[in-house]
A and B are shown apart, each in its own frame.
Chain A
Amino acid sequence: MPIDFADLSKEELADIYTKMLRIRKFEETAGTLFAQGLIPGLIHLYIGEEAVAVGVCSSLKQDDYVMSTHRGHGHCIAKGGNVNKIMAELLGKATGYSKGRGGSMHIIAPEIGVMGSSGIVGAGIPIASGLGLAIDVKKTKRVVACFFGDGASNTGSFHEGLNLAAAWKLPVIFVCENNLYAISVPMKKSTPVENVADRAVAYGMLGVVVDGMDVIAVHKATREATERARSGDGPTLIECKTYRFRGHFEGDPKGGGVYRSEAEMAEWQKKCPIEAFRTKLIESKVFAESEIEEIEQRCAKQVEEAAEFAKNSPYPSAGEVSKYVFASNSHGENGK
């Protein structure tokens, strides 16, 4: 049986591989910089989950929206974000996407549709519905992809956001990145259904479970969801079964091994989405190994440059600590 590449062109497949690898390299480097003490805050790495962000974003157009999460570097990179600006933000530099005001959990890139990320689990879900409302009112035919984790599916925000989107048939694709653990608590201890997607029925919404380690499977599910959304058929809940190869945050003891068995972690490592996709690309002879290696070298170089850019960038000026509290100037003395 021929390998299914969802009718994607060679160029598109190269882009998918590049984005996944760029995320991986970026996150590994961020982990190193964190270990070196160069990142002043907490970071949550996306390693292991690359197929989800890239599978979803490769189905979106440039002006479609994305709502990201605390584990959000991968979403921004997958949507076409600038790695220099993300890295600089992680280091708290003035050249970061949020000018050093946000950090790892508050990355935004409106010019490519990344409309922010939140450190509050589930909070992006009703906001995504609001973006869907804007599309609906303005009739722009865009869609919103809203990322969140399995933990977020237990929040009230999940219920409120999905209910509103379904009630108003808003063009939102709810993407649950189910990495099986809400920080340290396994899903089976917190969530009384086997699949988060099973909850879609409560909103009269289509719920789909996909292999979150298979970028093409995620791409196809998302493409179908975008078609439904653009034709006015409302939202879809896509659950991607995935796994984070690192801890919840950098510094999580034993890389999350306190609450996960070594055997389980090793089992999932074997399903590495990047290696799996690389093998397929070469086996199918769509790419020669040398072409793949070229992509790999390019990604490594880009990320190296991003780290240098971030390190060499200036910090924001302390005198500007109050800048951006308000957008308008007429905020009087209180806004100074």
Chain B
Amino acid sequence: MRTLDFSAAINEALRQEMTRDENIVVFGEDVGHFGGLFACTKNLQKEFGENRVRDTPISEGAIIGAAVGAALGGLRPVAELQFIDFVGCNGAMDQIFNQLAKMHYMFGGAVKVPVVVRAPCGSRYPVASGAAQHSQNLEAWFMHVPGLKIAVPSTPYDAKGLLISALRSDDPVFFIEHKLLYYAQRMPSLREKYPSLLDDVPETEYSIPFGQASIRKTGKDVSIIATMMMVHKSIRAAEELSRKGIDVEIVDPRTLVPLDKRTIVDSVKKTGRAVIVSEDCRTGGVAAEIASMIVEEAFDYLDAPIRRVSGMDVPIPYSPVLEGAAIPQEEDIIDAVRGVIGK
């Protein structure tokens, strides 16, 4: 078994699937010769040629629109948005929520639109400051649009397996990659702080079904439901909490659509307490949706109010001091868990 980082795992999934299925094409800004801003498409153009791996103009509406059309024409396009923030640029958002998400439905099943949109999200604190337009977490937007599947992998192993599933799916998939996960290999300090960022990844192809959460740690006192980078922060918080005698369980949904409600609900029924950790803004966010689902499904089992640990309702600021304050940190998770336990 080898250890891979997140980018390398994605790269390997793309390479293996492109070898298997010649209908898979990759395009986006700087994904070809340059290999992608975060190296996820490194060497793909060299290996598969300019016909299948294309650098696009800076034209997000054309990137997503062409992906929709290419899928209608029988390809399986992987369209990269360089940053998820760019989904609002040019005509991209219309193509996503009015076209891509709706076509299978509004045409009564007459066409399938198997597009994978890869989109890096999130704050890179404390590695790099991306500020307000290169750091957002927008996954809740896409949860609100029926017809899109949403993957939010937290580990290299999951990234490879979920991406392979996405590439074999007949539905449009938003594949959201938290940028801090990319830095594990090249930033020793980050890796030391969060050793769970690196992973053993099998060289063989494997797929992870959508809608199956992963229990990162079993515990009996509190259920933490966390996604992407927040999984790693929660693991670190759990270590600290265990020293205080608090035994948390960590559930990583891995996909937001479909959402593995059963695993989340079963965990909450077992522990009687839930803390939801999500980097996106608090209002109308992922944590709000999961919290209301838990209330609907497991209210009678709750021994304490649900707590959300979310990004603040502010644009992501530039200065590291401000940025760190705007997004959830281990201390926030610890405080929330202690709050619901009452000690």
CB distance from A21 to the nearest CB of B (A): 27
> A-side binding surface: helix, strand, loop or mixed?
mixed
Contact with B along A119-160 (1 / 0, CB 8 A): 110110111111111111110000000000000000111001
Q: Are A97 and B171 in contact (CB under 8 A)?
A: no
Q: Are B61 and A156 in contact (CB under 8 A)?
A: yes
**In the bound complex, CA of A315 to CA of B170 (Å):** 27
Q: Are A97 and B108 in contact (CB under 8 A)?
A: yes
Q: Are A134 and B70 in contact (CB under 8 A)?
A: yes
Chain A residues whose CB sits within 8 angstroms of the CB of B261 once the complex forms: 332-334
Contact of A102 among B51, B57, B108 (CB under 8 A): B108
Q: Are B90 and A131 in contact (CB under 8 A)?
A: no
**In the bound complex, CA of A119 to CA of B107 (Å):** 13
The residue in B59, B69, B210 that gathers the most chain A C-beta atoms within 10 A of its C-beta is B69
Query: Interface with B: A211-219, A224-232, A300-308, A322-330, which one?
Result: A322-330
Chain B residues whose CB sits within 8 angstroms of the CB of A331 once the complex forms: 149, 171, 210-211, 257-258
**In the bound complex, CA of A118 to CA of B102 (Å):** 11
Question: If A110-B111, A160-B91 touch, does A332 touch B69 (CB 8 Å cutoff)?
Answer: no
Q: Are A137 and B25 in contact (CB under 8 A)?
A: yes
Q: Are A127 and B68 in contact (CB under 8 A)?
A: yes
**In the bound complex, CA of A77 to CA of B119 (Å):** 39
Q: Are A101 and B59 in contact (CB under 8 A)?
A: no
**In the bound complex, CA of A102 to CA of B99 (Å):** 12
CB distance from B90 to the nearest CB of A (A): 5
Chain B residues whose CB sits within 8 angstroms of the CB of A137 once the complex forms: 25, 51-52, 70, 75
Chain A residues whose CB sits within 8 angstroms of the CB of B262 once the complex forms: 333
Q: Are B65 and A161 in contact (CB under 8 A)?
A: yes
Contact of B109 among A115, A125, A327 (CB under 8 A): A327
CB distance from B288 to the nearest CB of A (A): 16
Chain A 307-325 interface residues, beta-carbon cutoff 8 Å to B: 323-325
Interface residues on B, range: 35 or more
Q: Are B258 and A328 in contact (CB under 8 A)?
A: no
Chain B residues whose CB sits within 8 angstroms of the CB of A326 once the complex forms: 104, 147, 149, 171
Minimal Cβ-Cβ distance residue in B for A162: B62
Q: Are A325 and B90 in contact (CB under 8 A)?
A: no
CB distance from A261 to the nearest CB of B (A): 34
**In the bound complex, CA of A204 to CA of B74 (Å):** 28
Chain B residues whose CB sits within 8 angstroms of the CB of A324 once the complex forms: 104-105, 108-109
Chain A residues whose CB sits within 8 angstroms of the CB of B25 once the complex forms: 133, 137
Chain B residues whose CB sits within 8 angstroms of the CB of A115 once the complex forms: 69, 72-73, 111
A236 contacts the other chain (Cβ, under 8 Å)? no
B1 contacts the other chain (Cβ, under 8 Å)? no
Contact with A along B74-117 (1 / 0, CB 8 A): 11010000000000001100110011000111111111101000
Total of A-B residue pairs, C-beta within 8 Å: 187
Q: Are A130 and B70 in contact (CB under 8 A)?
A: yes
Chain A 145-182 interface residues, beta-carbon cutoff 8 Å to B: 155-157, 160-161, 163-164, 167-168
**In the bound complex, CA of A333 to CA of B253 (Å):** 13
Question: If A126-B66, A131-B70, A333-B259 touch, does A106 touch B106 (CB 8 Å cutoff)?
Answer: yes
B185 contacts the other chain (Cβ, under 8 Å)? no
Q: Are A328 and B106 in contact (CB under 8 A)?
A: no
Q: Are A164 and B108 in contact (CB under 8 A)?
A: no
Question: If A115-B111, A120-B94, A130-B71 touch, does A160 touch B61 (CB 8 Å cutoff)?
Answer: yes
Q: Are A130 and B91 in contact (CB under 8 A)?
A: no
A98 contacts the other chain (Cβ, under 8 Å)? yes
Give the total of A residues in contact with B, Cβ under 8 Å.
55
Q: Are B209 and A163 in contact (CB under 8 A)?
A: no
Contact with A along B123-166 (1 / 0, CB 8 A): 00000000000000000000000110100000000000000000
**In the bound complex, CA of A106 to CA of B110 (Å):** 11
Contact of A126 among B51, B95, B258 (CB under 8 A): B95
Q: Are B106 and A130 in contact (CB under 8 A)?
A: no
**In the bound complex, CA of A163 to CA of B108 (Å):** 31
Q: Are B70 and A332 in contact (CB under 8 A)?
A: no
Contact of B108 among A100, A129, A134 (CB under 8 A): A100
Chain A residues whose CB sits within 8 angstroms of the CB of B95 once the complex forms: 123, 126-127
15 A-B residue pairs with Cβ-Cβ distance under 8 Å, sorted by A, are A65-B73, A119-B98, A123-B91, A123-B94, A126-B61, A127-B72, A133-B75, A136-B51, A157-B65, A160-B65, A161-B61, A332-B260, A333-B259, A334-B211, A335-B257
Chain B residues in contact with chain A, CB under 8 A? 25, 51-52, 54, 56-57, 59, 61-62, 64-75, 77, 90-91, 94-95, 98-99, 103-112, 114, 146-147, 149, 169-171, 209-211, 257-262
Known: A115-B69, A116-B111, A333-B262. 18 other contacts (CB 8 A): A67-B69, A97-B107, A98-B108, A102-B108, A109-B110, A110-B72, A127-B69, A127-B72, A130-B68, A137-B25, A157-B94, A161-B62, A164-B62, A167-B57, A324-B104, A333-B211, A334-B259, A335-B258
Q: Give the 3 A-B residue pairs with the shortest CB-CB distance, closest first.
A: A130-B69, A126-B65, A134-B73
Chain A residues in contact with chain B, CB under 8 A? 65, 67, 96-102, 106, 108-110, 115-116, 118-120, 122-123, 125-138, 155-157, 160-161, 163-164, 167-168, 323-328, 330-335
